């Protein structure tokens, strides 16, 4: 495909608000996942998450608008404003908006139903109902900036952000819009946390092993979830030197997956990775690094290990697993893409957090220490429970 520039990044993340604090978090090699204090986790196996703590929405959103937004929308609008500031630009009115979110505003839906049950339909707050839909954050962004282009929200679990990016990039390439806001947004709440815990999806203490998210590690036993927002300014004709270029996408479905777990179809994942590389117009040997989907789940990580080895054989490029810095679902997958774009800008690979003892199936080792690297093309993987697969290639050059 023709390449789309990313000229601005806005971050509201666990442990970091703003792109440079986020870069510093990655460079420091410290995780923002910590014990949950927002709600009671007693009786659950898991107790940690990546939560946004030091964030004041009023620093970015006027009070009158703030009153009409739930937490999810506040994360998204604030990150959008940070992205525009980072890009040093304003968008034309015909720009589009494409967001991804795994769960959307679950907490708002819970709050509305509690009011509905307690007071009845006539007295339940209508504003809560309006904010209970997944596309509320995207709508607020468009209203705030007076954007009249497409406005879509995609929910595809772990792949939500890249699926939204694929749609928006295609529209920019076709000339439907000149530019777009692409982003992801997520909120951690008690209901989602407890359901994932009951399903056994979350990392937990195991004997002498403390609770921790350990992507690709032999001792992994689940993910930690995270929240926040990552927004990107995407332009067909960039107004400034970009962080990098979205060069290609690949999409596939693992038909062996169940509705709530990963399958064994590594050939399907390899097909999506190959399709992204082909779409970028490059060869496999030109991939300089892989920013992995790995989230510490036993089946999900094993699926990606086998797919990477199937595609690259014995010549696997450096593989980086970043999700243990900020948690799975954080920003709908956007923080993973932001990390890859920072690696491209800085020409430096990040250390994989939580990786210590390699899985016995691995014929490669994830990057353990941050180091300089010549990065021309980075493959970004996103593999969802349920079988969805979206992969992307980001490039240093336009062509």
Contact 133, 109 (CB under 8 A): no
CATH level 3 topology of 4-395: Peroxisomal Thiolase; Chain A, domain 1 (3.40.47)
- Which residue is listed with tokens 């992969």? 391
Residue 68 pLDDT? 87
Residue 332 pLDDT? 75
| CA distance linking residue 253 with residue 133, whole number of Å | 26
Give the residue ranges of DSSP H helices in the chain: 19-28, 63-66, 71-87, 106-119, 126-130, 136-145, 160-174, 190-198, 266-279, 298-312, 323-326, 334-346
Residue 118 pLDDT? 78
Q: Which two tokens stand for residue 388?
A: 């969805």
Global confidence as pTM: 0.96
3-state secondary structure 306-363: HHHHHHHCCCCCCEECCHHHHCECHHHHHHHHHHHHHHHHHCEECCCCCCCCECCCCC
> Digits of tens for pLDDT over the chain (399 positions)?
799 999 999 999 999 999 999 999 999 999 999 999 999 999 999 999 999 998 999 999 999 888 889 999 999 999 999 999 999 999 999 999 999 999 998 888 777 677 767 787 776 677 777 788 899 999 999 999 999 999 999 999 999 999 999 999 999 999 999 999 999 999 999 999 999 999 999 999 998 999 999 999 999 999 999 999 999 999 999 989 999 999 999 999 999 999 989 999 999 999 999 999 999 999 999 999 999 999 999 999 999 999 999 999 999 999 999 999 999 997 878 999 999 999 999 999 999 999 999 999 999 989 999 999 999 999 999 999 999 999 999 999 998
Best CA proximity match to 229, nearest among 54, 52, 38, 37: 52
- CA 262, 268, 270, 276 torsion: positive or negative? negative
Residue 270 pLDDT? 98
- Cβ–Cβ contacts within 10 Å for residue 146, how many? 9
| CA distance linking residue 147 with residue 121, whole number of Å | 33
Residue 392's contacts (CB-CB under 8 Å, 6 or more residues apart) are 162, 165, 166, 246, 247, 248, 249, 250, 276, 337, 379, 380, 382
Domain boundaries along the sequence of the chain: 4-395
Residue 133 pLDDT? 86
Question: Alpha carbon of 7 to those of 265, 303, 359: distances in Å?
Answer: 36, 33, 37
Residue 121 pLDDT? 72
Residue 168 pLDDT? 98
């Amino acid at each position: 495909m023709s390449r789309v520039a990313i000229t601005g990044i806005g971050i509201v993340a666990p442990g970091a608000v703003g792109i440079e604090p986020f870069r510093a978090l990655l460079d420091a090699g410290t995780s923002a996942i910590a014990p949950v204090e927002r709600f009671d986790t007693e009786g659950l196996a898991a107790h940690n998450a990546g939560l946004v703590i030091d964030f004041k929405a009023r620093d970015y959103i006027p009070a009158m608008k703030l009153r009409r937004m739930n937490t999810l929308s506040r994360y998204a609008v604030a990150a959008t404003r940070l992205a525009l500031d980072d890009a040093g630009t304003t968008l034309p009115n015909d720009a589009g908006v494409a967001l991804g979110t795994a769960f959307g505003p679950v907490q708002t839906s819970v709050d509305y139903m509690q009011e509905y049950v307690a007071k009845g339909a006539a007295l339940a707050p209508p504003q809560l109902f309006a904010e209970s839909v997944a596309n509320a954050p995207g709508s607020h962004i468009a209203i705030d900036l007076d954007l009249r282009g497409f406005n879509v929200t995609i929910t595809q679990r772990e792949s939500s952000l890249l699926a939204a990016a694929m749609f928006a990039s295609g529209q920019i390439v076709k000339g439907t819009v000149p530019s777009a806001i692409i982003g992801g947004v997520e909120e951690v709440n008690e209901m989602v946390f407890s359901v994932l815990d009951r399903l056994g999806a979350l990392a937990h203490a195991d004997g002498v092993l403390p609770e921790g998210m350990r992507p690709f590690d032999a001792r992994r036993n689940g993910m930690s979830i995270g929240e926040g927002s990552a927004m990107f300014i995407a332009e067909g004709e960039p107004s400034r030197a970009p962080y990098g270029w979205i060069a290609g996408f690949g999409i596939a479905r693992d038909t062996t997956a169940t509705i709530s777990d990963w399958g064994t179809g590594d050939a399907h994942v390899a097909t999506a990775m190959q399709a992204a590389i082909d779409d970028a117009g490059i060869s496999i040997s030109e991939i300089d690094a892989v920013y992995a989907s790995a989230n510490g789940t036993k089946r999900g990580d094993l699926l990606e290990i086998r797919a990477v080895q199937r595609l690259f054989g014995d010549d696997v490029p450096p593989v980086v697993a970043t999700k243990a810095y900020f948690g799975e679902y954080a920003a709908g997958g956007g923080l993973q893409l932001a990390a890859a774009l920072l690696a491209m800008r800085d020409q430096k690979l990040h250390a994989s957090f939580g990786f210590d003892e390699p899985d016995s199936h691995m014929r490669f080792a994830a990057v353990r220490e941050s180091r300089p690297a010549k990065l021309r093309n980075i493959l970004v993987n996103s593999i969802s429970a349920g079988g969805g697969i979206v992969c992307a290639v980001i490039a240093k050059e336009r062509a």
